[in-house]
Homo-oligomer: A and B are copies of this chain.
């Protein structure tokens, strides 16, 4: 059982892809049975269904009962799955037991275990997709790809960077010199990689493993025990991952408690207890800006890696393909009901309109094209279901209702939101995009993330005014993705400079593809330079502090 040898070429390809940042994936993104065969999709669904309404097959040290409050956004019924509730102190004692063995094993053995974990996860993407659907509300395809294959790629990408970082430290060195007129001194030096402590990974409700895989991989591969803190409504995908980790660790002769699950409930959250534990050294957080910035401010004793949220924007200056542009933007407003960290919220259009295919069209025409593109995308319920999925919780319909009831105070409704009828799940919690027209003076409405399918078309004086507003919002309120559409190269250059100076990345003229897509091995996801997060997934900085070096030097006689 040499997992490192078995998966070595995958790791090598991932490192090469990171170094050159071309398009590559290690995991099949499509759930098509043409790729996987007929059986796995059926088996995956059956496996998921077998997990419902019972204890999840996972026990934890320090278990003090079972909890579980997941409710499917599709069926609106409890999943009925219970997870261990843990006493944190006992859990941490158990996590400490195996840490020396793990720290002292060879780099290749550790990476072999991590690669095998990813491999086994790739073999259960169908169950993971159903688990993700019925917790986060994602559509099946999004749950299979975005929360499955694409997220696994980010895990492998983190491993690739971790491997580069640890390989940067030679295991030994010979050192010779004289001091003054003294004898030739020869020292044999050994450099040992040391873990820094327990890594707490706080996962979010909508993309439970998007940051979960890379954070887990980065910390575990560099020798640290990991506790996965799942969101109370999206515990199942995390629990499945933890179970897989523990199986692989145990098979390899390591203590399975090197990876544990901390499940909790809304009324008794456990995250702060983990963060305050003296053994915790690292926290990876995905979730609300409020808790994220609390962690950034208050956890100075920890390494803190956050991805939160901002108000992602589009600036429209001109286009040579109005309908393709409108469709690309519309798709972002619909995809996963805009519950993605890369979803667009704020669309800036000059008051006088734009040049489109060589003719001047009005503000209203541009806005209308986007509204129309949304309508077209959602015309067929199958397509709407495929694209939008369901809403993760009731906060989103509540926000939509509030905005609708506020009338013009919340902007002029360009497109109203309504539930759509899901073809499979008649009780699904759904909503189509609400699109509001506002002015820049109504900034308080749109200068934060309004989670879910809510977007603003913001009228600016001219295109540079739109650019200024959007890029300064990125600096002030955060942005994970920003877009510009323009046929004017000079404007594109100004836009790049302006967003880049705001600590934001920019995508230009993206059409004919899901513009929310962030490519592992190619896109540096989150810049760490604006309020939407302090860390990038993934780069050397994401991994190289998760271990330290101690050295032993011995004088040769």
Contact = CB atoms under 8 A, between A and B. Distances in A.
Interface of A: 19-23, 100, 164-165, 168-170, 173-177, 179, 182-183, 185, 187, 189-192, 194, 196, 296-301, 304, 492, 496, 499-501, 503-514, 517, 519, 522-524, 527-529, 536, 539-541, 544-545, 548-555
Given A175-B519, A513-B182, A548 B194 contact: no
B175 A509 contact: no
A331 B239 CA distance: 58
A108 B506 CA distance: 25
Given A23-B176, A540-B540, A550-B527, A555 B505 contact: no
Contact of A509 (B503, B506, B510, B554): B554
A548 B528 contact: yes
A535 to B, nearest CB: 9
A536 B165 CA distance: 15
Contacts of A21: 170, 173, 175, 189, 191
Contacts of A297: 300-301
A423 to B, nearest CB: 20
Nearest to A281: B529
How many copies of this chain does the complex contain? Answer: 2
A527 to B, nearest CB: 5
Given A512-B182, A524-B191, A550 B175 contact: no
A529 B514 contact: no
Contact of A503 (B169, B185, B187, B194): B194
18 contacts: A19-B168, A21-B175, A168-B540, A185-B512, A187-B510, A192-B500, A194-B503, A196-B529, A297-B300, A500-B550, A508-B554, A508-B555, A523-B551, A523-B553, A524-B549, A527-B548, A527-B550, A541-B545
A510 B551 contact: no
Given A196-B529, A297-B301, A511-B555, A168 B164 contact: yes
Q: Which of A296, A507, A550 has the most CB of B within 10 A?
A: A550
A170 B19 contact: yes
Q: Which of A100, A170, A539 has the most CB of B within 10 A?
A: A539
Given A297-B300, A496-B552, A541-B544, 7 more contacts: A23-B176, A296-B301, A299-B300, A492-B554, A507-B552, A508-B554, A510-B555
B500 A194 contact: yes
Q: Which of A20, A508, A522 has the most CB of B within 10 A?
A: A522
Nearest to A190: B496
A508 B301 CA distance: 32
A357 to B, nearest CB: 13
A544 B539 contact: yes
A524 B173 CA distance: 12
Contact of A194 (B169, B177, B529, B554): B529
Contacts of A499: 550
Contacts of A549: 524, 527, 536, 539
Nearest to A185: B513
A63 B500 CA distance: 33
A509 B196 CA distance: 28
Q: Which of A170, A177, A185, A536 has the most CB of B within 10 A?
A: A177
A100 B501 contact: yes
What are the 5 closest A-B residue pairs judged by CB atoms, nearest first? A21-B173, A300-B300, A23-B177, A508-B554, A524-B549
A22 B174 contact: yes
A194 B527 contact: yes
Contacts of A519: 175
Contacts of A177: 23
Contacts of A190: 496
Contacts of A514: 179
Nearest to A499: B550
A59 B204 CA distance: 52
A123 to B, nearest CB: 23
Contacts of A164: 168
Contacts of A187: 510
A548 B300 contact: no
Q: Which of A169, A187, A304 has the most CB of B within 10 A?
A: A187
Contact of A23 (B175, B505, B523, B541): B175
A500 B552 contact: yes
A102 to B, nearest CB: 13
Contacts of A513: 179, 182, 185
